[in-house]
Amino acid sequence: MPDDRPRVATREAYGKALAALGAERSDIVVLDADLSGSTKTKQFATAFPDRFFNMGVAEANMIGTAAGLSFSGLTVFASSFAMFAAGKAFEQVRQEVALPRANVKICATHAGITTGEDGASHQVLEDIAIMRVLPEMRVIVPADGLETEQAIAAVAAVDGPCYVRLSRLKVPMFLPADYRFELGKAALLRQGKDVTLVGTGVTTYQCVLAAEQLASAGIRARVLNMATVKPIDTDALLAAARQTGAIVTVEEHQRIGGLGSAVAETVSELHPCPVVRLGMNDRFGESGPGDKLLEHFGLSAPSIARAATDLLTRLGRGPDA
């Protein structure tokens, strides 16, 4: 059935949340690399022009300036496309933000294959790996507009570096009205004891849909929204491994180094169980509509449900076992 809930890109919710923060706190400063219309920081710039700085097409300089401003006691948000924030400015992120533990929030939009028609050059699929390997760096990937607004408030409230990964694709506002984001904690969206589906960002909604499809086949799938990839929620993963014994992770990112790797690393140390990692299999993306690319690369609900069924069949626990 068609989903008639409002569809909002997490980058749009970021712009809204940033403007709200600016009204509440005079220490909030925003920098952008000449992409404020696309990153949605323009809302903040319009409301608080004296606290907004367009740094031009100079991401490395933007990150260095953000760090400097943070050392004067300000809470600094720095935005660009994920390809540029994580790729072009990596040295500055490492040396000037992570190493001295600067209070800088890097909020990168247009991440993953759902960047869509911009194609492989702009569909960054490596940024979670790049950022989560840095000491002191928190990595957050909100699932919908509601969670984005709460996540932006949460990163503003903690001291130190954060990387927030945001998407261009509009997704349904599917989380319940009473949902509460908690930094470092996974959200249990659906109970289940047969298999656990772990999503992050836009793939979490696809996991919810997949769980509904699996239910019709008699498979009870647990769904975890892993909005914080680092620090990862070890308690939630340990419970999933013990109680379901099978995990499928889903991300619009390389299978290497992202959510799937983080989950597999955690589970292998605490309570080993099979982990199937759905993501980009050592390849770049393609140009096309974001939702169609999720289907094409096996990251939509039918493919997730099929991967979970295949895993359970391999374990002798399929619906026909």
**φ and ψ at 28, to 5 degrees?**
-80, 125
CA distances from 287 to 10, 80, 87, 116, 290 (A): 20, 20, 20, 6, 9
- Please confirm, yes or no, whether 59 is among the known catalytic residues: yes
Which residue's entry shows tokens 């470092």?
Answer: 184
* Separation CA 141–CA 128 (nearest Å): 9
Question: Which of the following is catalytic: 12, 59, 96, 126?
Answer: 59
Contact 314, 192 (CB under 8 A): no
Collect all residues with Cβ–Cβ distance below 8 Å to 164 and sequence separation of at least 6: 14, 105, 106, 107, 108, 140, 141, 142, 151, 152, 155
* Separation CA 267–CA 273 (nearest Å): 7
CA distances from 238 to 17, 84, 190, 207, 245 (A): 33, 35, 16, 19, 10
3-state SS record for 223-280: EEECCEEECCCHHHHHHHHHHHCCEEEEEEEECCCCHHHHHHHHHHHHCCCCEEEEEE
Q: Which ranges of the chain does DSSP label H, i.e. alpha helix?
A: 10-24, 36-39, 42-47, 59-70, 82, 90-92, 127-132, 145-157, 203-216, 234-244, 259-270, 290-296, 301-314
Q: Catalytic site residues?
A: 59
